[in-house]
Structures are given as structure tokens and as C-alpha cells.
């Protein structure tokens, strides 16, 4: 499976301990971690769910987390500085 640059950034972050923050009243999903955060569209989010790269936990706290398929997917390193990457 070929990842888009945004999917690569999201997976790379999740593989390195970042988390996803969703809100039923927002059109975006936030990927947040110790080096910052960035938003991405619901379209990308649901494509990653359908591709089985992330899933929603079936018990509390019902967070979206990376799957074993997503954890084992090869990603390119992503520099978190805003000057280097523009999503």
C-alpha cells in the first residue's frame, strides 16, 4: 500500500507515541504529540480506518489508535518543525 504524504506523517507520528483527537463537531482530526500538533481532514481519517491502519477501541476511552498493520507499515521519517513540513 502506498501512503500519501499526509498518511505517512500521521502513521509516523502514531508509531512514535502521538495520539488522535476527534470531535463530533469538527470537520478535522488533530494529531497531537510532544512536538506539536496538526489537523487533517475527515476524508483522510476515514480512508485510514477503511484501510485498517487505525481503528476505534471497543472499550472506554474509545480512542482511535494505530492497528498492528499500521504499526508495521514502513514510514518515512517526518521532521516536525513547521518550516520543513507543510501538510
CB of 14 within 8 A of CB of 6? no
DSSP secondary structure letter of residue 2: P
Grid coordinates of 82: 513547521
CB of 11 within 8 A of CB of 78? no
The structural domains of the chain, with segments of one domain joined by +, span: 5-72
Q: How far out from the chain centre does Cα 79 lie?
A: 15
Q: What is the pLDDT of residues 28-75, one digit of tens each?
A: 999 999 888 999 999 999 999 999 999 999 999 899 999 999 999 999
Q: What is the pLDDT of residue 35?
A: 80
Residue 25 has, within 13 A of its CA and on its CB side, a CA count of: 0
Residue 83 has pLDDT above 70, yes or no: no
Q: What is the pLDDT of residue 87?
A: 55
Amino acid at each position: 500500500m502506498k501512503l500519501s504524504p499526509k498518511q505517512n506523517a500521521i502513521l509516523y507520528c502514531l508509531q512514535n507515541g502521538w495520539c488522535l483527537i476527534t470531535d463530533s463537531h469538527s470537520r478535522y482530526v488533530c494529531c497531537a504529540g510532544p512536538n506539536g500538533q496538526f489537523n487533517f481532514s475527515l476524508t483522510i481519517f476515514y480512508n485510514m480506518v477503511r484501510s485498517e491502519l487505525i481503528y476505534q477501541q471497543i472499550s472506554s476511552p474509545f480512542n482511535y489508535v494505530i492497528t498492528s498493520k499500521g504499526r508495521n507499515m514502513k514510514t518515512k521519517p517526518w521532521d516536525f518543525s513547521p518550516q520543513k513540513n507543510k501538510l
